[in-house]
Structure 1
Amino acid sequence: MIWFWIATSVPVALLSLAAFSGAGWSLAAFLYMAVFVHIMDRLVHGAVAKCGTDGEFPSGAHLSILLGLTHLALIGFAVAAVSGATGLSWGARFLCFLAFGLFFGQVSNANAHELIHKGARFPRRLGTLVYITLLFGHHASAHPKVHHVWVATPNDPNTPLPGESFYRFWPRAWVGSFRKGLSVENAMRNRKTPHPPKWTHPYVAYVGGAVICLILSGLVFGWAGLLAYVMVAGYAQMQHLVSDYVQHYGLSRKLLSAGKYEPVGPEHSWNAPQFYSSALMLNAPRHSDHHLNPTRDYPSLRLNETVMPILPRSLPLMGTLALWPRFWRRVMDPRVQRLQASAD
């Protein structure tokens, strides 16, 4: 567990200092997220965590909750810094935008994803609150109730279509997951007797919470704060969506003769084995095992490179490559074709 704590705690400290202490700390926070993590991936090899006999790591839950609570403070720090309220220079504000955005996209998103899969109410609500502060609250419904059900099929808006670029994928995924998550929640509520009051609908919290966040940022930091909030949250959302794009590109479940899709298997997600970026992202790059065992604690997620598709580089680097569709297809399409040929 020590590597999970180190990888995630260092940027929290750097970002907190960067928000109030000038360009030097802003640069350090950005370099940690953008450069140091990848250097560590190259230098250090091996498993991020070894699974115990019972598969449980209580301290994993403790770190997730701490990161969730810390996020609520960091989002305020980010808006204050990027809006200029803390007196930073334009260069430091830009570096803060990049560094906070990278942290929210790679750590807060991964941690919220971990929390919404928990059985206990408090972690689930904390994860949902993290997504709400990133103006992405509907993901708390769409991810477990749509994505996990329909992943690697045309019914999942967060699975990219064959040959689809990221720029065509992300608006379809955002809007599609919002709509399908809403549809599933409506159907579930309609089956209940008596019908619950409308104000208890999860989407009231998702949309209402986002509006409250925006109003508060505007009241406290003015129009600059409102713009800063939208920019930082939007940047974090794009990183989440590019992760979905990378982790499911070109992989699909077969439609069986009975009209149902084959069960989700290890071959339906791309994975990344790199040490330090996996620790930073709470093992989110071990994506196949997560789909096979959604409630498994992140330190216990397993990686079997013989049966799970492996990305040629770390998840953050592949997300960057996905922004260049021609190069992305040149790297990934041959790998997809080889997987399809071996499956046939």
Structure 2
Amino acid sequence: MPAFAAATLAPLPLIATGATLGGPLLWAGLAYMAALSILLDQLLPLVEADAPEDAEFPAADTLLILLALLGLALPPVAILGATNPALSLPEKAALLFATGLWLGQIGHPTAHELIHRATRGKTRLGVALYAWLLIGHHASSHRLIHHRHVATPLDPASAPRGRGFWRYLPRAAIGGFTEGLRAETALRDRHAKGLHPYTTYALISATALALALVLAGPTGLALWLLLAAHAQLQIHLSDYVQHYGLTRATGPDGRPEPVNARHSWNTAHWFSSALLLNAPRHSDHHAHPTRPYPALRLPDDAPRLPWPLPLAAAIALVPPLWRRLMRPHLARLAQPQRNETQG
């Protein structure tokens, strides 16, 4: 837990102080989010050890709640800093980019963990953070569509082999919204109760945009939209990288095989795993969605990326490079399956 807390909280004082004063602290915050994880992952050994089975982490959810509350406060702080005349234009750009990276790399895993909690208050906090970033529907599409249909054509968040990220993005964004809406509406038809979740998402997002207008007028609104777009881009990049090219076989009954460890890419890099709340241990999350993030494991048969997740996401922004680098890794995964079929 100290590693998770230190990695996720450390950049916030740098970003927040930089929003007021600019200067070296602000650039240090940007360097932390943009480069430090990649550098430390190359210098430190891979972490293979798993937490003991049935280990408990009482502080895990406390850190999630703290990070979520800080994530709600960070966009207003960034907007005030970006409209602060004391900051230069490069400093304002650095502030916005560092903030967007924190929201996408730490805020997103935080909200993701919270929406999988059984406690209603924690789930609602995760929903609020997603809706604050104008992507509240992700709470629906992730739980109701992605976990059910992952690694099949029915999941907009699963990219087939050969599809570049920029071709994948429109379907992931639009399909996630529409499929989540369809699933939530079907649930309401069977168990109508309270506001439609999409109405809740819209109200929270409208509150966020109204706050942006109060803080800095049309400029504040534009900046909030920019921060949200940056965070959403990273959310879709994460889904793209963690399931690219992996497919579930179709059985004789026409149904896909059960989800297993081979349907998610994982990484074992120490620092980025701490920074991303163990999101790179993705196979175990799909097998045990409610398992606390410090207890997630690395299955022996789970496919692994050779790069830390943030670096893999950066590579995916250049589709020809991504396809070329991923080709041998997909080929190695396919070979055992061909052997099993022949046997």
Q: TM-score, structure 2 length as denominator? A: 0.95
Task: Give 2:325's aligned residue.
Answer: 331
How many pairs align?
Answer: 338
Alignment of 1:49-198 (within 5 A): 50-82=50-82, 84-85=83-84, 87-192=86-191, 195-196=192-193
Consecutive unaligned residues in structure 2, runs of 5 or more: 339-343
The answer to whether the 8 Å contact 2:78/2:95 transfers is: yes
Task: Give 2:251's aligned residue.
Answer: 256
The alpha-carbon deviation at position 46 of structure 1 amounts to: 4.6
Give the aligned residue type for 2:233: M
Give the aligned residue type for 1:316: P
The alpha-carbon deviation at position 122 of structure 1 amounts to: 1.1
One of 195, 211, 214 as aligned partner of 1:216: 211
Give the aligned residue type for 1:315: L
Give the aligned residue type for 1:6: A
Identical residues among aligned pairs (%): 43
SS at match of 2:10: helix
The answer to whether the 8 Å contact 2:160/2:247 transfers is: no
The answer to whether the aligner puts 1:20 opposite 2:13 as a matched pair is no
Aligned-pair RMSD on alpha carbons?
Answer: 1.4
Task: Give 2:341's aligned residue.
Answer: none
The alpha-carbon deviation at position 208 of structure 1 amounts to: 2.2
Give the aligned residue type for 1:196: K
The answer to whether the 8 Å contact 2:99/2:227 transfers is: yes
SS at match of 2:59: helix
One of 265, 269, 285 as aligned partner of 2:260: 265
User: Whole-Å Cα distance in 2 between the matches of residues 337 and 150 of structure 1?
Assistant: 23
User: Whole-Å Cα distance in 2 between the matches of residues 164 and 79 of structure 1?
Assistant: 35
SS at match of 1:58: coil
Query: In the TM superposition, what whole-angstrom CA distance separates every residue of 1:270-313 from its partner, at most 9, and x where no partner exists?
Result: 01110001100000011000001100000000013x31111010
User: Whole-Å Cα distance in 1 between the matches of residues 47 and 144 of structure 2?
Assistant: 31
The answer to whether the 8 Å contact 2:50/2:296 transfers is: no
Consecutive unaligned residues in structure 1, runs of 5 or more: none
The answer to whether the 8 Å contact 1:23/1:89 transfers is: no
User: Whole-Å Cα distance in 1 between the matches of residues 67 and 57 of structure 2?
Assistant: 16
Give the aligned residue type for 2:298: L
The runs of at least 4 consecutive aligned structure 1 residues that moved more than 6 Å come to none
The answer to whether the aligner puts 1:225 opposite 2:224 as a matched pair is no
The answer to whether the 8 Å contact 1:253/1:262 transfers is: yes
Give the aligned residue type for 2:25: W
Deviates more, 1:116-125 or 1:35-44: 35-44
User: Whole-Å Cα distance in 1 between the matches of residues 144 and 54 of structure 2?
Assistant: 27
User: Whole-Å Cα distance in 2 between the matches of residues 54 and 256 of structure 1?
Assistant: 33
The answer to whether the 8 Å contact 1:48/1:278 transfers is: no
The alpha-carbon deviation at position 177 of structure 1 amounts to: 0.7
Question: Could you say if the C-alpha distance between residues 292 and 173 of structure 1 is closer, same or farther in structure 2, counting changes exceeding 3 Å?
Answer: same
The alpha-carbon deviation at position 337 of structure 1 amounts to: 2.3
